């Protein structure tokens, strides 16, 4: 069991038979009344997100999540296919469950898939990925890193705000937690 005050972003717990992932949490002490924990949560199976509050002493069953390193193969219709590199077992994940994560994944990339018991529940991304810029506005002569930036569409469809000097075709390192540009990674 885990108390609501100990839940952190990224943790998963079981509530009323539902598998819930914490997206964001904050401790809130109103002027009057008791302290509450404000939470942004996502139902892992349905993908629905919602905001709620808990008393800090409320207890939940912590979900035991296992991970396995796999290779992303391809997406067909509404299913993403992954393969275990040791056993060659294939796993299918509905794309609506992992839509956000798929913006960071290229074919043949290794990622970790998450299991709750034998049920595949999602993808754990690496901290950073390298993606190619497919489309962006032309670079501005004399542009510096301190400029306001411009949007760039990456090869996976992800749109990232990048510095003005970045051009189409460049490889960029992207932070997967925040979806932000970190640095150039070459051509």
CATH 2.40.50.140 correct for 65-124: yes
Contacts 24+ apart (CB under 8 A), 74-78: 74/107, 75/102
pLDDT tens per residue, range 78-120: 888 999 988 998 888 888 778 888 889 888 999 998 888 888 8
The per-residue pLDDT for 117 is 82
Going 105 to 48 to 77 to 94, the CA torsion angle's sign is positive
List the domain boundaries for the chain. 2-62, 65-124, 128-186
Helix (H, G, I), strand (E, B) or coil at 62: strand
Query: Do the domains at 65-124 and 128-186 have one common CATH topology?
Result: yes
DSSP conformation class of 37? E
pTM confidence score = 0.71
CATH 3.90.1750.10 correct for 128-186: no
Domain 2-62, architecture per CATH? Roll (2.30)
The per-residue pLDDT for 147 is 59
The per-residue pLDDT for 34 is 79
The per-residue pLDDT for 140 is 63
DSSP 145-156: TTS--EEEEETT
Would you say how long the chain is, in residues?
187
pLDDT tens per residue across all 187 residues of the chain: 888 888 887 788 888 888 888 888 888 787 777 788 888 888 887 777 888 888 888 888 888 888 889 999 998 888 889 999 889 988 888 887 788 888 898 889 999 988 888 888 888 888 889 998 888 887 666 555 555 788 888 988 889 998 888 888 889 999 888 888 888 886 6
DSSP 83-146: EETTT--EEEEETTTSHHHHTT--TT-EEEEEEETTEEEEEE--SEEEEEEEEEPPPPTT--TT
């Amino acid at each position: 069991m885990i108390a609501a005050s100990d839940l952190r972003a990224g943790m998963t717990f079981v509530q009323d038979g539902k598998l819930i992932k914490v997206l964001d949490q904050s401790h809130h002490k109103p002027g009057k009344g008791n302290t509450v924990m404000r939470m942004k949560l996502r139902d892992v199976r349905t993908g629905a997100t919602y905001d709620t509050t808990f008393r800090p002493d409320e207890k939940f069953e912590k979900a035991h999540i296992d991970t396995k390193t796999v290779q992303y193969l391809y997406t067909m219709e509404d299913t993403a296919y992954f393969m275990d590199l040791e056993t060659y077992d294939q796993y299918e994940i509905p794309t609506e469950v992992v839509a956000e994560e798929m913006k960071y994944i290229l074919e043949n990339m290794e990622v970790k898939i998450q299991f709750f018991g034998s049920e595949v529940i999602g993808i754990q991304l690496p901290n950073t990925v390298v993606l190619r810029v497919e489309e962006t506005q032309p670079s501005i002569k004399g542009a510096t890193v301190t400029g306001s930036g411009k949007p760039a569409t990456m090869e996976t469809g992800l749109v990232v705000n990048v510095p003005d000097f970045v051009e189409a075709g460049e490889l960029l390192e992207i932070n997967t937690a925040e979806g932000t540009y970190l640095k150039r990674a070459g051509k």
